[in-house]
Amino acid sequence: MVDESAPARQRVVIVGAGFTGLAAALKLAQRGVAVTVLEQDTQVGGLASGFTVGDTHVLEKFYHHWFTSDRYVMDLIS
């Protein structure tokens, strides 16, 4: 039986576990939202993640860089 008097908890699905998807999931979860993150890859990080070549070489999936002057991205990281 559903308790109609209790406020419903918000639920959100985020598609993609890249940098932005994970940052959004964290911010929403900190606000009490129930978050589900969907990712098709075997690891999180999106294009900012990497993969191993041979025994020791890790390569980025795609070239990414963030400038320290980009306050929005730096705020997401912190």
pLDDT tens track for 35-59: 999 999 888 887 777 777 778 777 6
Q: Are 63 and 48 in contact (CB under 8 A)?
A: no
5-44: pLDDT as tens digits: 656 689 999 999 988 899 999 999 999 999 999 999 888 8
Q: What is the DSSP string of 7-68?
A: PPPPEEEEE--BHHHHHHHHHHHHTT-EEEEE-SSSSSBGGG-EEEETTTEEEESS-----T
Q: Where are the chain's structural domains?
A: 11-77
SS3 5: coil
How much is the pTM? Answer: 0.62
Phi, psi values for residue 47, rounded to 5°: -75, -10
